Structure 1
């Protein structure tokens, strides 16, 4: 599943980079996208997150886990010493089943 609004190859246009960064850092945005996707208990999802600190990846992991979906995160472990910025207090690595 990909949301073209948060893909780096799509940063041209009215909102550009600012819009992309705002969307990936806005809590609950990912849930709105995921509510309309065919995700089922027992599925697996792979989440890519460079820093592992942006809301979109963390929200996606929490959303999936709540629904019994196995979460794999591809993210940097270099940021594990930095404080979480998500309201849950988690980073993507904390919210995934496998990193």
Structure 2
């Protein structure tokens, strides 16, 4: 069984931005669909952005997804669920993998029924 990541949830990156996820559907193969992400970083170089989730995979222990931000950048995110369903991860710009930030989700996740 995979973790259930459907619904609206957010995470904070170590470099300041808060990313809000809106996951409409999650399939048995672990992919998620009908999704958007929004980015809010007041005072940052890009204060707001949004984009679709282009590719994804969710398991019981991990989530991997890419966001194609409307600003033209592409963010790759990898997270790990601990035994209590807490989610933490690391993200980077696809065109600049050295530009990394850790992130922490603001909720816990349970197994998909």
Q: Under a length normalisation based on structure 1, what TM-score does the superposition of the two structures give?
A: 0.25
Q: Which has the higher strand share?
A: 2
Of Structure 1 and Structure 2, which has the larger fraction of its residues in helix? 1
What TM-score, normalized to structure 2? 0.23
